[in-house]
Amino acid sequence: VRERAYRFLLRLLPRGFRERFSAEILDTARQASQRTRGRPSALVVLTDLLATVVLVRVDALRAALRVRTHPGSPVSSLFQDARFALRALLRDPLFTAFSVITLGLGIGAGVTMFAVVDRLLLRGPDHVVDPDRVVRVYFSHEPAGMRRFTSSGVGHVTYELVRSRVRAFDQLASYATNGSRIGHGADARAARVTYASGTFFGLLGVQPILGRFFGPEDDDPARPDRPVVLSHAIWQRDFAGSPEVLGRTLVVEDQPHTIVGVAPAGFTGAELRPVELWLPMSLLSPRVTQDWATTWDALWMSVIGRLAADVSAEAAGAELTDAFRAGYGGDEPSMRAANLFVAPLGAGDAGTQTAEARVARWLLGVSALLLLAVCANLVNLLIARDMRRVRDLSVRLALGASAARVQRLLVAEALALALGGAACALAVAQLLGGLARRLLADVQWSSPPVDARLLAVAAVTALALGLVMGLVPAARAVSLARSSAAGLGGTRDGGARQGPLRASLAVTQAALSVLLLIGAGLFSRSLVNALSTDLGIEPEEVLVVELSRGTLAAFPPDQVEGERARRRVFPLEALESLRAIPEVTHAAVAVGMPFGNRFSVRLWIPGLDSIPRLSTGGPSISAVSDEYFATVGTSILRGRAFRRGEGAGTERVAIVSETMARTVWPGEDAIGKCLIAMSDTLPCATVVGVAADARRGALREEPSMHYYIPAGQEVGFGGAVLLLEGEDTPLALAPDVRRVLAALDGTITYVELGTIQERIDPQLRPWRLGTAVLASAGVLALITMLVGVYSITSYLLSLRTREIAVRVSLGATALHLARLVMGGSADTTLVGASTGVALALGAGRFVAPLLFDVSPRDPLVFGGAVGGLLLTALLASAPPCAKAARIDPNEALRAE
C-alpha cells in the first residue's frame, strides 16, 4: 500500500523532474524505510513526498514565470511566505496532520449539511424558473366524526373552479404522479410517471433538451398519438441517448404513446422525487373514474400555480378559500367550511415542512457548532505553538525583519493549514455526501457530492477561517517577541498564565462538546425508543402483497362487472393456496391496514346520539379475514377473533380496539354490544371481541378508535392486500408467493412485495440521520479536545518545569502538583461543561418536538455528556501530570 502511495505521489511531479529523479527517490525511500533505527514513519514519508510535489511544482511555476528572486519583489516574498509556512508545518507533522484532519472533518461536515439543506429547502426542484413564486394548493377540512384532514389532493372540478374563479395566479397547472406499467410482456416494469396538464411545463419554465414538451393542445383524450416526454435518465438508459428517439412508440399501461421530447437532466417536475415519464393528464383522469369531469369525491391530482405579481401567499389562500366554499358542489358538509392555502413546492403532503428538512436544518446548525469547536481548539493550539517559538521570532525581529513580515509568516502558516483542511474536507464531503444520498434515496440529486458550488463554499470557508485563526495568535506572538527582543524579558513564562482569550476559547470548546454530546444522547435515545416502541403489530414479521392488473377498460362492457367481482374475491380465494406454502405460518386479507390504507365510514351506535371523538378523530374501519390478528401480531384481549368462513353473507360481527371499547362504552363490556357501519339500512353487527390498540399510520400518534369487520362484508370501500407471516424472514417467502399467484391468475401484471417495517422506515429516518451526525460530531469534538488539552497542558508544564522543581524540593505532594499542572484546564472544563448544560437546557424547548419519548432534559443524557467531557479532560492531562510527578528537582535546576 505504501509503495503504491509513493508511486501515485511521484506521478504528480512535473515531467522533467519525474524522469530524472523518480526512480532514485523510490529507491532511496525504500532504503530509508528499511533502516532499523531512525526510520521515518509512513506519515513523515508521505507528507515529505506530498510537500516535494507541491514545492517542485512551485519551483517550476516560478521558473516559468521567470520571477527573479530579488528581495522585496512581492511575488517572490509570497513564494517565500508559502515556503516558510510549508517548511514550518512539515517540521511538526503530527500537529499538521491533526489540524488538517480535524479542520477537514469540520469543514467537510459543514459543507455536506449545507448541500443537503440547500437541496431540501433552499433550491426548489431543478430547472424551475423563479421557484419562489410557484406554490402548491392545499385544502384542509374536518369531516364529522373524523380527524382534521389536510392534503394537496383534489379532483378535476376543483382545478376548474380555481382556474375560472381565482385571480391570484398568473398560471395554473395540475399533475399527479403514480406508478404505471411501461413496456409489455416479460419486459414490463413499473415506472414513476407524472400525468400533467398541458400548462405544466410552461408554468415551471423548463425547456426540453430534445424535441418539445406537450402543451394545452396535446392535453386531449381524443388525440390519437398520445404524446409522452422522457426523463433524461430513461432516455440515456433505455434509448442510449439517441436523438432518433423522437417519434418512436413507447407502451405505457398497454397503450402505445409517441415520444415527442426529452426533459433536461435532473428535472423532476414540481417535487424532488425522480420521475421517468410525463404524459398528459387527460390520459389519467378517465381511468380514475368515469365521472371524472364532474365528481367532487375522487381526489387524484395536485394543483400548482405561479403567484401573480404582488400577490402574497396569504392573499392567495384567502381568495382560494372564498372561491372554493362558494363553488363547492359536493355533498360533504365539512368541505363547505374547508380552508385552502398555498405552500412552497418543498412542503410535504400536509403542506408543512418535511421532517427531513427540519432535521437537516438543525444538523446544519450542529455542523456549524462543530466547526466552531474545532477552530477554537486550533486557535488555542496555534497560540501555544507560536509561544514556543517566541525566542526564534525575536531573533528574526532582532535581525531586522519587520513585525508585519513576521506576522505575515505566521498567518501564512494558518492559511496553509486551512487550505490543507479544505482539501481534506473535499474528501470528507465526498464520503458524507454519498451517505446522505443513500439516506435520502428518494430525492433527485442532480449534482455529484462535490461540485463547483461546494468547492467554492469550502474554499471561502477555509480562507476565512485561516485568516481568523492566523491573525489572533500571530498578533500576540509578535507583540511578545517584540518585548522579548527589546530585552524586556517575558519569554520565560510568557503564556504560562492562561490569558482571558485562551481561557474563553477553551470554555467555548468544552461547552460546544457538551452540547453536541447531549444532542447525540437525546437523538440516540429517541431512535432506541422509536425502534422498541410497542406498535400493537409486528411490522418486521409481516409481508404485504399488493396485486396490479391491467385496466378494466380493456374488457368488453358486458364483462366489466363480472371481472370487477372476480378481482374483489380473488385475494380471499388465494388464501388457501398461499397457506399451503410450507413456510407460511399465517395468511390473511385486509382492506385497510396499519401504515397502509385507512378508511372511515358512517357509523351509528344504538343508544348514542353521536359517536364520541378523541383528539385523533372518530373511529376508522378495516375489513379483515380470519387469521388477520395472528398474522400481524395484534392480540385479542377479550372475546374472539374472526372465524374461517365468516364474511360475505354470514351474520354481521365486529371487533373493536381497546380504546374504542373504552370510549364508546365506558365502564361497560363492549362484547355483545351492537354497531351499525357504512349504511343505516344494514343490520346491527355484534361486537365479538376486543383487540389491543395498534398504530394506524405513525410511530408517534395518540391511541385512536378502530374497529374490524370480516372481509367480504365491507360496502363502499375496497382495495385488499394479502398479509403473510412466515417461519423465516418475510422476504424469503417472495419467490413462492409470486409463483403461486402467477399460477392462480394469469391476468396479474405486477406483484409488489414488502414488509410493514419498510413502510415505517422513512419515519425513523430523521432520528437515524440525527443520531449518526450528532454522535460523530460529538466524538470528533471530544477527540479535538483531548488533543488540545493534552498539548496545552504539556506546553504549560514545559514552561513551569523550574517552578515545579522548586516546589518539589520544598516538599509539594503529588496532589499539589496535579492541581498545579491541571489547574487552568480543569477550571475551563468545568465552566465549559456548565455553560454547555445551560445552553442545552435553554435549547431543549426547541428540540423537544424532534425527540421520541425522551425529555429534552433527560438526566441520564446530561450526566453522560458531562461525565464524558470530564473523563476526556482527565485523560488528556494525566500524562503531563505523571511527567510532573517524575521531575527530579536537582536535574531540572541544573539544566537551567
Partner 1 sequence: MTPGDDLPSVKGDGLAVLLTLSRGPLHGYAIMLQAEERSGGEVRLQTGALYRTLKRLLDERLIEECDRPRTAAGDDERRRYYRLTQRGRRALAAEGERLERLASEIKVATAPKSAST
Interface with partner 1 (CB under 8 A)? 17, 20-21, 24-25, 27-29, 31-32, 38, 40, 44-45, 48-49, 51-53, 55-56, 59, 87, 395, 398-399, 487, 489
Supply the minimum distance, in Å, between the C-beta of residue 839 and partner 1.
Answer: 46
Supply the minimum distance, in Å, between the C-beta of residue 420 and partner 1.
Answer: 17
Supply the minimum distance, in Å, between the C-beta of residue 393 and partner 1.
Answer: 15
Q: Which residue, 10 or 691, has its beta carbon nearer to partner 1?
A: 10
Supply the minimum distance, in Å, between the C-beta of residue 12 and partner 1.
Answer: 11
- Cα distances (angstroms) measured from residue 580 to each of 26, 570, 577, 624, 724: 69, 16, 5, 20, 12
Q: Which residue, 395 or 715, has its beta carbon nearer to partner 1?
A: 395
Secondary structure (3-state) at 650: coil
d(CA 830, CA 823): 11
Max Cα-Cα span within the chain: 112
Q: Which residue, 35 or 845, has its beta carbon nearer to partner 1?
A: 35
Contacts of 119 (CB under 8 A, 6+ apart): 272, 443, 445
Which sign, positive or negative, has the C-alpha torsion 52, 56, 61, 67?
A: positive
- Cα distances (angstroms) measured from residue 779 to each of 114, 206, 372, 630, 695: 21, 45, 15, 44, 35
Q: Which residue, 46 or 439, has its beta carbon nearer to partner 1?
A: 46
Supply the minimum distance, in Å, between the C-beta of residue 486 and partner 1.
Answer: 9
Which sign, positive or negative, has the C-alpha torsion 716, 721, 722, 727?
A: negative
d(CA 510, CA 377): 9
Q: Which residue, 38 or 849, has its beta carbon nearer to partner 1?
A: 38
Q: Which residue has cell 438508459?
A: 237
Q: Which residue has cell 400533467?
A: 196
Instruction: Convert 235-269 into a string of H (helix), E (strand) and C (coil).
Output: HHHHHCCCHHHCCCEEEECCEEEEEEEECCCCCCC
Contact indicator for 520, 775 with CB cutoff of 8 Å: yes
Q: Which residue, 48 or 238, has its beta carbon nearer to partner 1?
A: 48
**Cα(first)–Cα(last) distance of the chain, in Å?**
46
Alpha helices in 440-499 (DSSP H): 452-485
d(CA 801, CA 804): 5
Q: Which residue, 23 or 860, has its beta carbon nearer to partner 1?
A: 23
Distance from CA of residue 93 to its chain's centroid? 36
Supply the minimum distance, in Å, between the C-beta of residue 81 and partner 1.
Answer: 16
Q: Which residue, 51 or 308, has its beta carbon nearer to partner 1?
A: 51
Q: Would you give the DSSP letter of residue 614? A: B
d(CA 708, CA 698): 19
Supply the minimum distance, in Å, between the C-beta of residue 807 and partner 1.
Answer: 24
Supply the minimum distance, in Å, between the C-beta of residue 494 and partner 1.
Answer: 16
d(CA 315, CA 306): 13
Residue type, 494: G
Task: Please name which of 292, 174, 282, 294 lies closest in space to residue 220, comparing C-alpha atoms.
Answer: 282
Task: Please name which of 391, 390, 384 lies closest in space to residue 496, comparing C-alpha atoms.
Answer: 384
Supply the minimum distance, in Å, between the C-beta of residue 55 and partner 1.
Answer: 6
Q: Which residue, 32 or 581, has its beta carbon nearer to partner 1?
A: 32
Q: Which residue, 68 or 438, has its beta carbon nearer to partner 1?
A: 68
Q: Which residue, 87 or 148, has its beta carbon nearer to partner 1?
A: 87
Supply the minimum distance, in Å, between the C-beta of residue 802 and partner 1.
Answer: 17
Supply the minimum distance, in Å, between the C-beta of residue 23 and partner 1.
Answer: 8
Supply the minimum distance, in Å, between the C-beta of residue 26 and partner 1.
Answer: 9
Supply the minimum distance, in Å, between the C-beta of residue 17 and partner 1.
Answer: 6
Q: Which residue, 48 or 736, has its beta carbon nearer to partner 1?
A: 48
Instruction: Convert 824-876 into a string of H (helix), E (strand) and C (coil).
Output: HHHHHHHHHHHHHHHHHHHHHHHHHHHCCCCCCCCHHHHHHHHHHHHHHHHHH
User: Residue 263 is placed in which grid cell?
Assistant: 426533459
Q: Which residue, 95 or 239, has its beta carbon nearer to partner 1?
A: 95
